[in-house]
Amino acid sequence: MSTINGTAGASRTTLAPPGTNNTRPKSTPGLIPTNNVTTKEGVTVRTRIDPTLTVDDVVRQLCVNLKVTEPSSNFALRDKDTDELIVNENLRKAIKNKANLKLVNAPNIEAAEIVQKLIIRDEKTLKMALWSLKKFIREEKFAQEFLTRGGLSELVDVICTEHGNTLAYALEAMHNLMDLEYGWSDLDDNTFIFSVVRILSSPTSLINVCRPATAILKKLVEADPMNAPGPLIASSSRSPPIAPPGSVYQYGFQIVFQQMRKVNGSLETVVNRLGSADTAMILHSMMLINSLLSHVNDTEWDEFISELERLNVRKAVIRLMSSHNIDDLTSSILDFQANIVRVTYRKKSTLVEPEVELLHESILDYIWKSSRVQEERDGDGQVLKWRKLGFSTENLVSEFEQVGELGLDCLRNFVADDPEFFSKVVLEQLSRPAERRCPIARSSNEIVELLSEHWMIFAPAYSTSTTYQPFFLNFYRVHTLATHFFLRMWNESGSAAGDFSRIVALTRSQVKVALQSENVKPWHEVEHDFLDCEYRAVRDRQMQELEAEDDLLSKVPVRNLKEKITRESAEFVRQQRIQCLLQGAWFVNGIPTPANGPSRRPNGQWRFMRLDNGLKYLHYVDSAVKFPVRNGLEDLPERIEIAAISLIATGTCAPPQNILRDQLDLPPPTNFTPSPLSFSLLTATEGSLADQIAPDQSRWADWTDGLNMLRRDSGHVTSDETAGYIKALTEIGLKIKLLDLSGEKVDIPSGLLAGPPPSNTDFFFSDVI
């Protein structure tokens, strides 16, 4: 770049459209703000820029006025304070804010120079080049030139060979590049992805290296062909469809997990970092685990889930629940909780087939051997084996049909908790007359049903819990406690075979009491409620509950109906929330807490935001006053990419001191008190994209939950209001269905038995008229 002649701060010029006179009437210049423009050489000119000009015209006139000999196409304008590139869309905003500008290399020139520095790999210039790269790589002109000149392969080579801060800057640049929807579709699995996994797993890697490495793996997991916009290409085999050539959606869970398998202890390292002292590292690890859980495919499902369970990831998350109250972690923990709901439901709906699955066979073999009971034959010559443990039949496929693999795992954990006790109680029951025996295995399965009902394991699109559920994450331990309670109630009440449903009802009542307020209740109180309560007290309380409840709701068909209506209600509320985002709304621009990191400086007190019809961007405009916003996006020049939002944190910012208090449903400010109606849109690395305060509780619930439902790795709602709507719609729908049945005086059985299968295929289903 040539030297521009002038004295710093001494020059003044007015930039006007071509064909106009630069000399304006004396009363006019004050209408146009003055901007300081600084060159690379430190020369500063005070300039009035006509807002009707394009950026190209502004740069061209600056070069003429400052007698620059190079073509004006070699230069661009940036905000001196933020390094933001000035383009036509934000030029007016920069002029109005009197932003300090600087004349710099055009993005294509800057990109060419950085690629050259990556090739030369000089130690003195490499770090600075990478530092600039991570800032500029999101700009389209810069990115295109960088990619055209082979910058991606040079960046990958740096990642595979460098270390320390140089590696950290390179990883951050790559992560920022991956915010683009193009340019990184051919990253090699065995070089790049394997190198990132190896970096992540190395005990010598610095925290500032591990954070972007973890974020990159999360991006790769979410770049699943199933997430690709537009039509997918059908596969010729039974494998999933593939994304079109050139699409970045070429990766996904399977590719990332295959590379993680190659590095011993990589997943264990991610789980262990949930105990890190660095909150940002915890957050990145939680987000990667959530993405893996959200995108795990059927092929690796068993292996991956088993490995996570072996690493005791639930225990690590429960520790976070009690040790962290940071909003961004709260959102990720609730996402994990919702993912475990889906994992639990899948286990519950997976059939137990010992003749097909070796794992099922080995678990059942362990249970049988732990009982120390011998197989016999009954009076009819039939094998008497599993009925000795409390099953109704010897057909284990049908015995576990309602609780699936979840029931099998729960029974195994009950046995493993105290094998001696299990053997003792089985032998004790067998010593009693048949009608007085407690069916241990059957009661275990019934407890699984009760807990699934309590925690609404209905496989909704997202979890309706807005609070921590540490006891749910301890599902197996709670099941063991509840099963011990069932056995004790059976013994203390002197029950017989016909009393099974009565003890089930007692246990259901105790489950509600023991697990209430679980986000604040200590674990020892749960143990006390199950292990130390007296039969008479439980029975008296349950009789009071029966007076106010309908026994109809406890029947299996009604519970199944409730599951179906819950799913429908959740989807209905989800669509309503997204419709609110499509309509748009006004918010106050809040003052963020320092914990949220850097945030974008708003240009006005108010902000109107609206989601586009493609559900990819939040378009917005900042203004000093509210004004009627037209339909569409013409009035909303700025936008935020939904994919860039990692977290929707709540209670994060305070209203400006000069806000009119009667326009918001808020208490008066006291120092810096975050508003309960505030929320922030956070990225994984760059702080906050937006800090907003809703005008009322309903608008806050609409937007926080609606935005959460749009995120690829999200699975929870934020507000009690949304959870309440889903619950209310479910109850109303259920009552309407039951009124239809009760009006017809239909008797609802507790369960249905399937008849024998047809003896041949000589039949058809007639149409119901």
pLDDT in tens, 290-299: 999 999 998 9
- pTM assigned to the model: 0.76
The predicted structure's pLDDT at residue 749: 56
pLDDT band at 533 (very low <50, low <70, confident <90, very high): confident
- Is residue 19 left, alpha or beta, with left meaning phi > 0 and alpha meaning psi from -120 to 50? left
Of 746 and 353, the one with more pLDDT: 353
Q: Give the three-state DSSP class for 573.
A: helix
The predicted structure's pLDDT at residue 114: 95
Mean pLDDT of 652-671: 60
pLDDT in tens, 413-444: 999 999 999 999 999 999 999 899 999 999 99
Give the rounded percent of residues in the chain with a pLDDT score beyond 90: 43
Of 761 and 427, the one with more pLDDT: 427
The predicted structure's pLDDT at residue 127: 92
pLDDT band at 482 (very low <50, low <70, confident <90, very high): very high
In the predicted structure, residue 596 carries a pLDDT above the cut 70: no
In the predicted structure, residue 403 carries a pLDDT above the cut 90: yes
pLDDT band at 602 (very low <50, low <70, confident <90, very high): low
Both structure tokens of 657: 């001191």
Average predicted confidence (pLDDT) for the chain: 84
| DSSP string computed for 97-115 | TT--EEEEE-HHHHHHHHH
Of 92 and 405, the one with more pLDDT: 405
Q: Are 718 and 708 in contact (CB under 8 A)?
A: yes
The predicted structure's pLDDT at residue 461: 52
Mean pLDDT of 234-263: 79
Q: Best-predicted range by mean pLDDT among 61-75, 433-447, 553-567, 680-694?
A: 433-447
Would you give the DSSP letter of residue 522?
-
Mean pLDDT of 26-46: 73
| Cα–Cα nearest to 581, from 686, 692, 674 | 692
| Cα–Cα nearest to 343, from 319, 316, 314, 311 | 314
Give the rounded percent of residues in the chain with a pLDDT score beyond 70: 83
| DSSP string computed for 252-296 | -HHHHHHHHHHSTTHHHHHHHGGG-S-HHHHHHHHHHHHHHHHH-
Domains, the chain, ranges and CATH?
11-105 (3.10.20.90), 109-226+246-348 (1.25.10.10), 358-549 (no CATH), 569-721 (2.30.29.30)
The CA-CA-CA angle for residues 299, 303, 308, to 5°, reads: 130
Q: Are 489 and 452 in contact (CB under 8 A)?
A: no
pLDDT in tens, 302-327: 999 999 999 999 999 999 988 766 66
In the predicted structure, residue 87 carries a pLDDT above the cut 70: yes
Least confident of 59-73, 386-400, 511-525, 593-607: 593-607
The predicted structure's pLDDT at residue 669: 47
Mean pLDDT of 85-91: 87
In the predicted structure, residue 641 carries a pLDDT above the cut 50: yes
pLDDT band at 11 (very low <50, low <70, confident <90, very high): low
